[in-house]
Amino acid sequence: MVPTVPPTLKTTRLILRPQQQGDAAALFAILSDERAMRFWNRPAIDRLAVVQELVREQQDAMAGGLCRYWTLMEDGEAIGSVDISLIGDGSAELGFVLRPDRWGLGLASEAVGAVIAHGFGELGLARLAAAVQTANRAAARVLEKSGFSRIEERSVRLADGQNKDCTFYLLARRNP
């Protein structure tokens, strides 16, 4: 059985460490930023308690083996989060968010690459899926640079009740 707490992953510039409840304040700084949340399925979060509860729910999901969440650390500072969720039947979904002042530096691609390697390696996944709002070209570029293929574009009703155009991506493990 694969352990439910993800391992620490390292890249050239980042340490992806398993998310901890103590990360809520750093994640709140990101999730409360209108720029960071512009393309999410919910508005910016305005209360730390909401993020604390969100992290608790994510911790429970990790304990149940459904998800893996990492906090992205750069020079000892939390700058974002990356996850694989809905793990089952050889598939999972990938998600990521970075602090806006760290955008455009290739850090998201670096983190996503590490998580893809972990998912296809240690977890033995066969497929990873991801979805982005079509207007979020930066996130789409991260996925495309990481090998994901665009498979569908359609309108989706988000949690806040708005309909947005979303693009769906898939990455299949290459067999050696």
For residue 23, what pLDDT is reported?
A: 96
Return the CATH number at 29: 3.40.630.30
**Residue 131 within a domain:** no
- Domain membership flag for residue 166: no
Catalogue the E-assigned strands of 77-162: 77-88, 91-98, 127-133, 149-157
Tokens of 159: 């949690």
Q: Which two tokens stand for residue 129?
A: 């899926």
Domain carrying residue 91: 9-126
Residue 176 has what pLDDT? 59
Q: Which two tokens stand for residue 95?
A: 């998600």
pLDDT of residue 79: 97
The answer to the question of residue 167 being in a domain is no
140 alpha carbon, distance to own chain's centre = 13
* Domain total of the chain: 1
Averaged over successive runs of 10 residues, the pLDDT of the chain (176 residues) comes to 77 97 96 92 91 94 92 97 94 96 97 97 96 96 98 90 93 84
Distance between first and last Cα of the chain: 24
Tell me, what's the pLDDT at 174?
Answer: 84
164 falls within a domain:
no
pTM over 0.85: yes
pLDDT for position 41: 79
**Residues 98, 49, 158: CA angle, nearest 5 degrees:** 60
Are 68 and 6 contacting, i.e. CB atoms less than 8 angstroms apart?
Answer: yes
Give the model's pLDDT for residue 1: 43
